Amino acid sequence: MLIRYGYELTFNCPQPTLTICLLDAHRERSQELRYETPPMTIPAIPTATYIDTFGNTVRRFIAPAGDLRITCDAVIADSGLPDPVELDANEVPVEQLPNESLLFLLGSRYCETDRLADIAWGHFGSSPHGWRRVQAICDFVCDHLTFGYEHARSTRTAFEAYQERIGVCRDFAHLAVAFCRCMNIPARYANGFLGDIGVPPDPSPMDYNAWFEVFLDGRWFTFDARHNTPRIGRITVARGRDAADISLVTSFGPHILKTFRVWTDEVDAAVLQELLSRSARTRAL
Amino acid sequence: MLIRYGYELTFNCPQPTLTICLLDAHRERSQELRYETPPMTIPAIPTATYIDTFGNTVRRFIAPAGDLRITCDAVIADSGLPDPVELDANEVPVEQLPNESLLFLLGSRYCETDRLADIAWGHFGSSPHGWRRVQAICDFVCDHLTFGYEHARSTRTAFEAYQERIGVCRDFAHLAVAFCRCMNIPARYANGFLGDIGVPPDPSPMDYNAWFEVFLDGRWFTFDARHNTPRIGRITVARGRDAADISLVTSFGPHILKTFRVWTDEVDAAVLQELLSRSARTRAL
Amino acid sequence: MLIRYGYELTFNCPQPTLTICLLDAHRERSQELRYETPPMTIPAIPTATYIDTFGNTVRRFIAPAGDLRITCDAVIADSGLPDPVELDANEVPVEQLPNESLLFLLGSRYCETDRLADIAWGHFGSSPHGWRRVQAICDFVCDHLTFGYEHARSTRTAFEAYQERIGVCRDFAHLAVAFCRCMNIPARYANGFLGDIGVPPDPSPMDYNAWFEVFLDGRWFTFDARHNTPRIGRITVARGRDAADISLVTSFGPHILKTFRVWTDEVDAAVLQELLSRSARTRAL
Amino acid sequence: MLIRYGYELTFNCPQPTLTICLLDAHRERSQELRYETPPMTIPAIPTATYIDTFGNTVRRFIAPAGDLRITCDAVIADSGLPDPVELDANEVPVEQLPNESLLFLLGSRYCETDRLADIAWGHFGSSPHGWRRVQAICDFVCDHLTFGYEHARSTRTAFEAYQERIGVCRDFAHLAVAFCRCMNIPARYANGFLGDIGVPPDPSPMDYNAWFEVFLDGRWFTFDARHNTPRIGRITVARGRDAADISLVTSFGPHILKTFRVWTDEVDAAVLQELLSRSARTRAL
């Protein structure tokens, strides 16, 4: 399956401002990209990339004073299969966890494991282990929180979401991540593109999505406490301990987001062909 | 497309020996795995994993004295599309290369850029830039070296391959990597599973394959100087500066490889279903 | 100057428990160690080490059920000079900060930059820049918080410390770190050994200390909002975003700390000689 | 003890050229720096830094066409004690080596462990283990190779040095490193400043020095096969697998080194004071 995805953001800075972005498909999927516009800004400015400690590719630039539009359009090859479900996947006994997974058991900015530990053990201490325990956490979170874009608050932590019982997809992910960590299951926060492939179209404007990954049977599996059902065509952008590590856009100075548009749709080979030949014509000019 | 792949190795150590292996699909493809046996050894021994400086997951264990069999069987979801060809992909001007790519311009154990620089500039200095220059390198290497399993020699470097004009797939990759680096195009060595999907079956026993990746237009593309044609269903295992970084098996002490079997085949959903239900039955026992 | 330092901890786990520790001098000072007992536990158990994403060496082991004592005694060579004071050290303009320092501008578990930004700009927006701004932050924090061991609370964040106006050395460090980050000065949390060398002896039992480091003029400088004066003989153990990253002891299961003793004293060459020859005699047995 | 060190290099590039340098004291010694000029170039050009995979801080810039001078002057606090000698330090049994040390057992560009393994076991297989084995390697290398600046050749490998029996300090280090790795003792290559403190002055112009480090008893110790005696005041600049990883200057394009001057001397507090006050006056202008 081919999926076309991309974004167009415009923001305004009163003065030149260092900005870092995590907006593009994770470079682990480099080999599956079939088309990608070069990083494009209006006005054209130089940008650079670096790899953060989580393996994400961060784009860094000085946003000039005034409006800056940043946009990308891409096509990626995907297997078209839904998120796997492995009911029998086991928890790795904590004493056998690999060193690099231990970081994902600790507390972080939005996942206060210290404050949620007793709550987690109360709810999930008697769940079956492994996949089923993570599923129990997703079921609980999906049921406990009421979703609403009007509930977005950038400082809300997992503990606050638990108490307030409202949130957006990032709150669902944060609470589930914190619960998993309390139960000694390494969990990391992820975000990316998720279109309405194979599900009824969602009328609200498309946005980046947040979900999470847990470490079972020696590898990382995707879970989504917000939609709480396997989905087709997730395109991961970045992973971290929580949203503090992988903001879409971080400006080290004030900025106003003026426009924001995201797309993620299945396309056929003809669309890809047309994009590629259009791009060849542009380069030839 | 679903691809079943795996391996079975038996080796014999005269005494307990620290061993590290890079045999499994790269964890960047975790999300696409649909089935994977747990790491399985006969006799059963504990194994651990860690991430090396290149992002590969290394398995580490003490091989006991005597025979040790290590085996894995897995099914992965794949888009089924051939390696992309982007004739217009550009070289990133060297002064704009990201920091982490510079390592892949330096010399390494089997890629002596210092000894090959003049040769590279002689052959490719007037080639068109970007994708076409890398393709010119692949064409040259594919033509210059004669492939033959009988030519395998674990100490052969790129410079020696250039002089001896013979080699196996790792020598093709080393020489192409070294040439790319000499031309200031970051290049890294990769190995993995590559079956005969979409090509006439190769009668020789299946083995791991070596290929390489180059950094163009801000991302890594796959090239294969040995087959020198886009292929379907590559499953990358590891990446490094050259083969010294990512041996399939490294024993810190003597060992003898007794059997070695690799498979990589397209399968249909029924096979996957059968593997999953068989595994569920085993766990239930 | 020679400094002898070490620790003795005893803790009790009801069952075998994965434990990770950050207790020893940072390996960046390997070359200055003149004596160090091997990692010693009673009962003797195997331990392993790994490097975390911040460059700290973490010791990992399975604490057995029952009491475990872990102890180390070491002598390190030190220049004997107090923490440097460079009043003219400048802030690196944010757009020139190196990539790896940006992590230390973001929020973290105990340093809620999002909640403290306006407060920070209110207090320090008109301070002189660079070293003097960091000093102004230390002066404020040192004055604003009342120190007291009875105020220790492991869940207290910088924002809470700011509101409650009490804390221990880690709260002083967290609040100063958060303020620095709000002012776009990279800041990281550090802990280690700090004896009473060159200052009147402190009658309270010796403990690990927390301080912090800021990035000025292209390198990291030590500040200490708790003592707020240059000190001699700091021996750094670990660095991280905040205390969540570098707990002295993290047990993935319940444990009780039963005894805890730390020492850090200047010694002369005769003491070192005696320790070395005692150790040689022990090995010879 | 205070040590003043620094360098002045001039090189000439026919055209603007990406250049990376490893010239300054390792940032692990940040806290001991008492004075350091900012990175200074003539003409003044922007430079940036990044951390490589070995933890070294690399300076990166575009050298303009024509001459570029790059210079630094610094004062560092040092304990003044010679390299430690711990005759009883043990080898860590290979199966207990930490993951991150295993890289330093593998072959690398200038250390062909595969070609030197039998030679190493022939010479050192019956040496006592641990410190004494590494000392035996140093004694052998120091005796086997004849030092001479006229013998410098940038492509010489450890195996070639072994055969040619000549070299400069980097060849001494490469051969000793390769031998240690063959004996399953992790070894890494280091370079830095080493003045004539405590030894008779060497009349030849001062240069950077190469030495190496081995992993014994769980930490890294310094050895120097060229001087083969403990020295005072080493200031490490960088560490890597071998010289290919940590060239002082790497230009991705042709360049000519026109002048090269290095200094490393003990100074007293008055000199430091004078440097600091001169620098304050300069900033005040």
Q: Is the CB of residue C152 less than 8 Å away from at least one CB of chain A?
A: no
Chain A residues with CB-CB distance to C53 below 8 A = 53, 103
Query: Which residue is listed with tokens 């415009």?
Result: A10
Cβ distance B219 to A50 less than 8 Å, yes or no, reads: no
Query: SS3 of D153, please?
Result: coil
Distance, in Å, from the CA atom of B58 to the CA atom of B36, rounded to the nearest integer, reads: 17
Q: Which chains touch C (3 or more CB pairs under 8 A)?
A: A, D
Q: What would the two tokens of residue B210 be?
A: 């070596």
Set of chain B residues whose Cβ sits within 8 Å of the Cβ of A46: 96
Q: Determine if the peptide bond prior to C43 is cis (ω within 30°).
A: yes
Whether chain A has a CB inside 8 Å of the CB on B55: the answer is yes
DSSP letter at A195 equals -
Q: Is the pLDDT of residue D135 over 70?
A: yes
When pLDDT is averaged across residues D243-262 and rounded to a whole number, the result is: 94
Q: Is A243 strand, coil or helix? A: coil
pLDDT averaged over chain C?
95
Tell me the C-alpha distance between D84 and C30, whole Å: 10
Taking the CB of residue A13, how many other CB atoms lie within 10 A of it?
20
The β-bridge partners of B21 are B59, B249
What is the number of residues in chain A? 285
* Sequence-ordered strand ranges (E) for chain B: 2-13, 17-21, 33-36, 40-42, 48-51, 57-63, 66-77, 146-147, 166-167, 187-193, 209-216, 219-223, 235-240, 249-251, 256-267
Judge whether D211 and D234 are in contact, CB under 8 Å: yes
pLDDT at res. D285: 60
pLDDT of residue D40: 86
Q: Is A154 on the interface with C (CB under 8 A)?
A: yes
CB contact under 8 A, C217 and D38: yes
Residue B176 pLDDT greater than 70, yes or no:
yes
Q: Give the per-residue pLDDT at D284.
A: 67
Measure in Å the smallest separation between the Cα of A258 and chain C Cα atoms: 21
Q: Are A108 and A242 in contact (CB under 8 A)?
A: yes
Mutate to test the interface with D, among C2, C20, C30 (most CBs of D within 10 A): C30
* CB spacing of C184 vs A252 below 8 angstroms: yes
Backbone angles phi, psi at B161, to 5 degrees: -60, -40
Q: Are C259 and C9 in contact (CB under 8 A)?
A: yes
Percent of chain B with pLDDT over 90: 92
Burial class (CB in 10 A: 0-12, 13-18, 19+), B142: middle
In this structure, what token pair is assigned to residue B267?
């399968």
- Taking the Cβ of residue D19 and every Cβ of chain B, the question of whether any pair is shorter than 8 Å is answered with no
B32·A79 Cβ contact <8 A: yes
For B167, B198, D55, the CA distances from D47, given in Å and listed in that order, are 43, 50, 19
In whole angstroms, how far apart are CA A71 and each of A49, A62, A267, B193, D210? 16, 16, 19, 36, 48
For residue A205, the model assigns a pLDDT of: 87
Which of C18, C102, C245 is the closest to A95 by Cβ?
Answer: C18
Task: Select the more confidently predicted residue: C17 or A204.
Answer: C17
Collapsed DSSP state (helix, strand, coil) of residue C7: strand
Calpha distance B245→B58 (Å, rounded): 11
Please give, one letter per residue, the 3-state secondary structure of C197-221.
CCCCCCCCCCCCEEEEEEEECCEEE
Q: Which residue(s) pair with B240 in the sheet?
A: B189
Residues of A in contact with B27 (CB under 8 A): 219-220
**Which runs of E-coded beta strand occur in A78-174?**
146-147, 166-167
Residue C236: which of C76, C101, C91, C103 has the closest Cα? C76
Chain D stretch 114-133, residues whose beta carbon is closer than 8 A to a beta carbon of chain C:
none
Q: Which pLDDT band, with edges at 50, 70 and 90, does C280 fall under?
A: confident
What residue ranges define each of the domains in chain C, with the CATH number in brackets?
2-80+247-284 (2.60.40.2250), 94-232 (3.10.620.30)
Task: Flag whether residue C252 sits within 8 Å of chain A, measured between CB atoms.
Answer: yes
Determine the Cα–Cα distance for residues A3 and A268; give it in Å rounded to an integer: 8
pLDDT interval class at D204 (50, 70, 90)? confident
- For residue B111, the model assigns a pLDDT of 98
Q: Strands D146-147, D166-167: parallel, antiparallel or unpaired by DSSP?
A: parallel
Q: What is the structure's pLDDT at A285?
A: 61
Residues 202-241 on D with a CB inside 8 Å of C are: 217-222, 234, 236
C189: closest CA among C165, C157, C150? Answer: C157
Q: Residue A281: its pLDDT value, please?
A: 80
> Does residue D159 contact residue D119 with C-beta atoms inside 8 Å?
no
Residue C72: strand pairing partners: C7
pTM: predicted TM-score of the whole model, two decimal places? 0.94
- Hey, how many other C-beta atoms are within 10 angstroms of the C-beta on D74? 19
Using alpha carbons only, how large is chain B's radius of gyration in Å? 20
- Calculate how close chain B gets to D101, using CA atoms only, in Å: 10
CB contact under 8 A, C98 and D48: yes
Token pair in block for residue D63 = 């050298």
- Residue to mutate among C3, C31, C215, with most D CBs inside 10 A, is C31
Average pLDDT, chain D: 95
Residue C284 has pLDDT above 70, yes or no: no
Question: Which of B18, B107, B244 lies at the smallest CB-CB distance from D95?
Answer: B18
> Is the model's pLDDT at C135 over the cut of 80?
yes
CB–CB of D219 and C79 under 8 A?
no
* Spatial contact of B180 and B214, defined as CB atoms under 8 Å apart: yes
The pLDDT confidence band at residue A126, using thresholds 50, 70 and 90, is very high
Integer Cα distance of D180 and D92 in angstroms: 13
Looking at beta carbons, which residues of chain C come within 8 Å of D99?
A: 50
pLDDT of C285: 60
Q: What is the rounded CA–CA span in Å between residue D269 and residue D34?
A: 10
Burial class (CB in 10 A: 0-12, 13-18, 19+), B107: buried
Task: Check residue B108 and report its DSSP letter.
Answer: B
Q: Looking at chain A, which residue has its C-alpha nearest residue B239?
A: A28
The span from the first CA to the last CA of chain A, in angstroms, equals 31
Distance from CA of D182 to the nearest CA of C (A): 23
List, for residues B147-175, the tens digit of each pLDDT value. 999 999 999 999 999 999 999 999 999 99
Q: Indicate the pLDDT class of residue A266, thresholds 50, 70 and 90.
A: very high
Q: What is the per-residue pLDDT across B191-232, written as a single tens digit (0 to 9) for each?
A: 999 999 999 998 888 899 999 999 999 999 999 999 999 999
Judge whether B107 and B182 are in contact, CB under 8 Å: no
- The size of the C-D interface in CB pairs under 8 A is 87
Q: Which chains touch A (3 or more CB pairs under 8 A)?
A: B, C
| Å between C116 CA and nearest CA of chain A | 11
Question: Smallest Cβ distance to D114: which of B99, B115, B154?
Answer: B154
Q: How far is B110 from chain D (nearest CA, A)?
A: 7
**Contacts A–C by Cβ distance under 8 A:** 68
Q: Report d(CA D40, CA D61) in Å as an integer.
A: 12
Q: Decide if B50 and D99 are in contact by the 8 Å CB cutoff.
A: yes
Using the beta-carbon criterion (under 8 Å), do C106 and A244 form an inter-chain contact?
yes
Closest CA to A18 of A56, A65, A52: A65
CA atoms within 13 A on the CB side of C93: 8
Question: Cβ contacts (< 8 Å) between C18 and chain A: which residues?
Answer: 94-95, 97
Question: From CA D212, how far away is CA D204, in angstroms rounded?
Answer: 22
- Name the pLDDT band for D255 (thresholds 50, 70, 90): very high
Q: What is the pLDDT of residue B144?
A: 98
Residue of C nearest to D82 (CA): C32
pLDDT tens digits, A161-180: 999 999 999 999 999 999 99
